Structure 1
Amino acid sequence: MASYRIRQYRDQDYDAVRTLFARGILEHAPAGYRYVLRSARAKLELLVLFVVVRAAAGYWVVGLGAVALALVATWLLVRSFSTSYVQQALSTDLHDIPASYLRAPDSCFWVAEAEGAVVGMVAVAPTQDLAERGMALELKRMSVSKDYRGQGISKALCGEVLRFARARGYRAVVLSTSMVQVAAQRLYEGQGFRKVGTFSPSLLGSLLCFQVFHYRCDLPGRTTAPPH
């Protein structure tokens, strides 16, 4: 097991952080694809497609070909969905990390370093949920390199966010994670987070039956909102 340390983001981490984030999101695309195909709606739609095309063409091979094309099209949509999310993040908060997380109030960005390389990352910032503003911070951009998982790095990064929020008197930490990130869900639940909501992030997400889970961890301590 390689040793690691958690430290605040530095300018020289820029490329490594962006690459780590992109790889972490895109590696979930195959799991998302499998999730979509296992849904009852997808199975029914593929069956209907096969029956209709076979009846129209008169050949079952043509029906199977139509289903195969639908499967390819679904994969391309899932991949496009993941790619669009990565591009959106890289062009917004991860485009200027110091401005987004180091110079902004009640925000921070940490990396996990092992063997001289950035192998993990996490950020925290005030939540955009108006109902939670002033009361909760949001854990964001959590990612750990595939080669370094299972070593407690994710738990340590999550702990940094919880300590940061407690030290500033916040009542809770919130976060969002997708339905295919099962390991992340287990991690968060093990750290005291509970699922409080489910939503689809976009129209394409709804079409793909893609859901995002909203989690919340209530913190002990102060019961009044921090001054702003």
Structure 2
Amino acid sequence: MAQKSNFHFSIREYTPSDRLVLMSFFRDGIMEHVYPAFFKTMSHPDHIGIALSISMAGYVLGGSSYFQALLFGSAWAGLLYYCCHEIYEGYMMRWLCTDMADIQTSYLENPDNGFWVAEADVKGRTKVVGMLAVMGKRGMEEAERFDDLNGGVAAGGSEFFQDAGDGSHGEMFHMVVAFPWRRKNVGSLLMQKALDFCKEQGYTRLVLDVSSPQTAAISLCQKFGFVKTATHSNTHANRWFSKLARINVMRMEKCVSS
């Protein structure tokens, strides 16, 4: 059960002085998903079966050696961990080299985009505790992006892809809340800011991609009425890494009332 927050939170636009703390938030916020992804992958029945088979092979090849059985099984687990790590590290590095390399230019100098930080008032001093970005997209940009996804499958709510007008919409990125400040409504405040921004811009919907191990993010989206409209396996890492890690990416969307 979430505890009642005794802190006052506010959302404001990004300033260059926020850069260092946000870079740390971003790195930590992405890489923290490696372990949940690994444990989810290892618990899959197929991988459990493979691990047992490999361990048995090690046992037999090692002349009834329990050590070799453990070694073979550990090698398989290590491979799966490596796949999970490469997926999230690759995602992180991709964004650090693109829009996060120059937030001012990528977001604040483009009226279609927005980048905000969440602040907490702690004993009269403000502390940055979260971040969120929204990038304006055009209808054709969305269609081209989805066509490029390997393994893309439309799910329930596919009617969300059919927008009025030119199909302009907002795409949400980089929502991160610092660990000590979670379950204090910060994520909800950031999400509401993104929805309000989309409404002000005249966007018909807000969309985001979330990986299957990110259960907290999925729950937050569902709380705000987002629905899953597609799934794909394009993690921007080696395709075999995604297959072995069994990480899927879900597209979540919500219509924005005008």
Question: RCO (CA 8 Å, sep 6+): is it higher in 1 or 2?
Answer: 2
**Is 1:103 aligned to 2:136, yes or no?**
no
Residue 91 of structure 1, aligned match among 89, 94, 97: 97
The aligned counterpart of 1:226 is none
Q: Give how far 1:161 is off.
A: 0.8
Q: Secondary structure at the match of 1:95?
A: helix
Q: How does 1:188-207 map to 2 (within 5 A)?
A: 188-200=221-233, 201=235, 202=237, 203=239, 204-207=241-244
Structure 1, 174-183 or 124-133: larger mean CA deviation: 124-133
Q: Give how far 1:220 is off.
A: 1.9
Structure 1, 113-122 or 153-162: larger mean CA deviation: 113-122
The aligned counterpart of 1:179 is 212
Q: Deviations over 1:146-196 (max 9, x none)?
A: 111111111111111111111121111000111111111111111111111
Q: Give how far 1:16 is off.
A: 0.9
Count residues in correspondence: 221
Q: Secondary structure at the match of 1:110?
A: strand
Q: Deviations over 1:19-75 (max 9, x none)?
A: 111111111211111011011221122122123333333324122221022223322
Q: Distance in 2 between matches of 1:106 and 1:126?
A: 5
The aligned counterpart of 1:163 is 196
CA contact 1:126–1:134 (8 Å) conserved in 2: no
Q: Secondary structure at the match of 2:101?
A: coil
Q: Give how far 1:138 is off.
A: 0.4
TM-score (norm 2): 0.80
Task: For 2:118, give the aligned amino acid.
Answer: A
Q: How does 1:13-32 map to 2 (within 5 A)?
A: 13-32=18-37
Identity of aligned residues (%): 27
Q: Secondary structure at the match of 2:26?
A: helix
Q: Distance in 2 between matches of 1:134 and 1:88?
A: 26
Q: Distance in 2 between matches of 1:138 and 1:77?
A: 27
CA contact 1:123–1:142 (8 Å) conserved in 2: yes
**Is 1:43 aligned to 2:48, yes or no?**
yes
The aligned counterpart of 1:213 is 250
**Is 1:4 aligned to 2:9, yes or no?**
yes
The aligned counterpart of 2:131 is 121
Q: Give how far 1:117 is off.
A: 2.1
Change (3 A) 1:211 1:191: same
> Structure 1: where are the runs of 5+ without partners?
222-228
Structure 1, 137-146 or 124-133: larger mean CA deviation: 124-133
CA contact 1:49–1:67 (8 Å) conserved in 2: yes
Residue 71 of structure 2, aligned match among 59, 65, 76: 65
Q: Give how far 1:130 is off.
A: 2.7
Structure 1 runs of 4+ off > 6 angstroms? none
Q: Deviations over 1:76-121 (max 9, x none)?
A: 3322322222121111111100111111241000000123221100
Task: For 1:100, give the aligned amino acid.
Answer: S
Q: Give how far 1:207 is off.
A: 2.1
Residue 148 of structure 1, aligned match among 173, 181, 188: 181
